[in-house]
């Protein structure tokens, strides 16, 4: 009986350790891009309309941050990025406990970033939020 318990314990320990092993790289992993250390400054506005504000986009430690959204409780979120030719494509979803979520999708070409982002929030007392906006910004050089 003791032998069975030891054997089962060994299998459990092996299985637990196996979950920490990094999976082999996939073909999309080789195209992954790290944007850490890049900061972009520019303008934002509703889709189809003129700019109505400014924003600073920060990529740091694998995380994305829109500084203009911090005052609404949106913090950092992991980002994904990959290269398509001479363009870097990125995405991130940031969340706020009070104000829903914002999904970001954009491209970086050279020192220019263009993105669209959609803010959504389900509300029981009023219409659900679903606002689509744009961002155009350039790389901040004086870090």
pLDDT beyond 90 at 9: no
Across 23-27, 37-41, 105-109, least confident range = 23-27
Per the model's pLDDT, the better-predicted residue between 46 and 142 turns out to be 46
In this prediction, residue 14 carries a pLDDT of 34
Confidence of residue 31 (pLDDT cuts 50, 70, 90): low
Supply the DSSP string of the chain, one letter for each residue. Answer: -HHHHHHHHHHHHHHHHHTTSPPPPPTTGGGB---TT-EEEEEEEETTS---EEEEEEEETTEEEEGGGGGGT---EEEEEEEETTEEEEEEEEEETTTEEEEEEEEEETTEEEEEEEEEE--SSSPPEEEEEEEEEEE----
Condensed to tens digits (0 to 9), the pLDDT of residues 47-90 reads: 999 999 999 999 999 999 999 999 999 999 999 999 999 999 99
Percent of the chain residues past pLDDT 90, beyond the cut: 66
Provide the whole-model pTM. Answer: 0.75
């Amino acid at each position: 009986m003791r032998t069975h318990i030891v054997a089962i314990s060994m299998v459990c320990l092996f299985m637990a350790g196996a979950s920490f092993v990094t999976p082999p790289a996939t073909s999309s992993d080789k195209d992954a891009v790290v944007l850490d250390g890049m900061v972009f400054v520019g303008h934002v506005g509703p889709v189809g309309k003129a700019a109505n504000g400014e924003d600073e986009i920060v990529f740091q430690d694998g995380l994305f941050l829109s500084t203009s959204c911090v005052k609404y409780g949106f913090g950092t979120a992991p980002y994904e990025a990959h290269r398509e030719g001479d363009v870097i494509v990125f995405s991130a979803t940031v969340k706020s406990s009070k104000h829903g979520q914002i999904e970001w999708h954009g491209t970086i070409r050279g020192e220019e970033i263009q993105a669209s982002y959609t803010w959504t929030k389900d509300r029981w007392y009023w219409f659900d939020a679903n606002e689509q906006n744009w961002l155009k910004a350039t790389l901040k050089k004086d870090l």
